[in-house]
């Protein structure tokens, strides 16, 4: 394969700067060495983060801000700009950051649920976690649907299955549309990769199959499709 010329690399980086308003170092590395990957990368970036799908623009940026805060990720400050540009306030930002800090506590609840739930028959730890989240949301400028989408994004990005299951159930209870739940999950692909998204959808699939949430016809079709799971290595 013939590597791109210096002029082609400069032109590609100039194009990115014109579209995004900034250039990051990995753009140059891909432009110089992996132009095909760069093209696919840019297409996915547009589809995942720029194009409008199911989330309203401001809600999408709330989810982005929540994911970046929870992952302690300094790359992506342009999403803070977009959050403000879509009507976000500093009060909302503070609410998002409180949600990110609260979501980290799901790991504590998960440990308790795995080890002590049978000793606490009168205390549903998942319900307790969801209720505490509602109390936090009630005192914030965020509506519950937006806050639950942010928490779904956080728990997907942080690869926390127990907390994610609780948030998916809470999102259904709050009437959040399933396509919005799916899009909030998908945003975690960018900072955290595909595998956490795969595991998050496994959690969702289990909730539907166990009857813990009631899916719409399209999502029921997904839940009823057999044979979903990891590749089975044939015996030798």
> Can you identify the CATH homologous superfamily of domain 54-213?
AhpD-like (1.20.1290.10)
For the chain, give every domain's residue range: 1-51, 54-213
Sign of the CA dihedral with 65 first, then 68, 73, and 79 last: negative
Residue bearing tokens 């730890």: 125
**pLDDT confidence bin for 1, thresholds 50/70/90:** low
- Whether the pLDDT of residue 58 is over 70: the answer is yes
Query: Rounded to an integer, what distance in angstroms lies between the CA atom of residue 54 and that of residue 184?
Result: 9
In 10 A of CB 36, how many CB atoms?
A: 9
Segment 67-107, tens digit of pLDDT: 999 998 877 788 888 899 999 899 999 999 999 999 988 99
Cα 176–Cα 182–Cα 186 angle in degrees, nearest 5: 135
Segment 98-112, tens digit of pLDDT: 999 999 889 999 999
- Whether the pLDDT of residue 2 is over 80: the answer is no
Which of 46-50, 110-114, 135-139 is predicted with the least confidence, judged by mean pLDDT?
46-50
SS (H, E, C) the chain: CCCCCHHHHHHHHHHHHHHHCCCCHHHHHHHHHCHHHHHHHHHHHHHHHHCCCCCCHHHHHHHHHHHHHHCCCCCCCHHHHHHHHCCCCHHHHHHHHHHHHHHCCHHHHHHHHHHHHHHCCCCCHHHHHHHHHHHHHHCCCCCHHHHHHHHHHHHHHCCCHHHHHHHHHHHHHCCCCHHHHHHHHHCCHHHHCHHHHHHHHHHHHHHHHCCCCCCCHHHHHHHHCCCCCCCCCCCC
Q: Which one is predicted more confidently, 22 or 102?
A: 102
> What CA dihedral angle connects 86, 91, 96 and 97, to 10 degrees?
130
In 10 A of CB 186, how many CB atoms?
A: 22
Per-residue model confidence (pLDDT) at position 188:
95
Query: Rounded to an integer, what distance in angstroms lies between the CA atom of residue 64 and that of residue 77?
Result: 10
Query: Rounded to an integer, what distance in angstroms lies between the CA atom of residue 168 and that of residue 171?
Result: 5
Q: Which one is predicted more confidently, 166 or 27?
A: 166
- Whether the pLDDT of residue 229 is over 80: the answer is yes
Share of the chain above pLDDT 90, in %: 56
Average pLDDT of the chain to the nearest whole number: 91
Structure tokens of 181? 């739940």
Query: Rounded to an integer, what distance in angstroms lies between the CA atom of residue 97 and that of residue 62?
Result: 10
């Amino acid at each position: 394969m013939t590597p791109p010329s210096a002029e082609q690399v400069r032109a590609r980086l100039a194009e990115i700067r014109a579209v995004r308003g900034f250039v990051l170092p990995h753009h140059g590395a891909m432009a110089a060495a992996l132009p095909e990957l760069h093209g696919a990368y840019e297409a996915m970036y547009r589809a995942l983060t720029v194009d409008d799908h199911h989330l309203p623009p401001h809600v999408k940026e709330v989810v982005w801000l929540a994911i970046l805060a929870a992952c302690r990720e300094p790359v992506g400050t342009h999403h803070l700009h977009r959050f403000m540009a879509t009507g976000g306030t500093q009060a909302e930002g503070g609410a998002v950051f409180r949600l990110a800090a609260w979501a980290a506590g799901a790991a504590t609840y998960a440990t308790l649920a795995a080890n002590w739930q049978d000793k606490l028959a009168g205390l549903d730890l998942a319900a307790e976690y969801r209720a505490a989240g509602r109390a936090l949301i009630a005192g914030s400028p965020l509506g519950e649907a937006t806050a639950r989408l942010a928490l779904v994004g956080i728990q997907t990005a942080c690869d926390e299955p127990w907390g994610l299951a609780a948030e998916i159930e809470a999102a259904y209870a709050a009437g959040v549309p399933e396509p919005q739940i799916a899009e909030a999950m998908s945003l975690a692909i960018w900072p955290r990769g595909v595998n956490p998204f795969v595991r998050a959808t496994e959690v969702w699939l289990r909730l539907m199959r166990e009857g813990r949430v009631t899916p719409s016809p399209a999502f029921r079709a997904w839940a009823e499709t057999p044979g979903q799971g990891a590749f089975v290595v044939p015996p030798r």
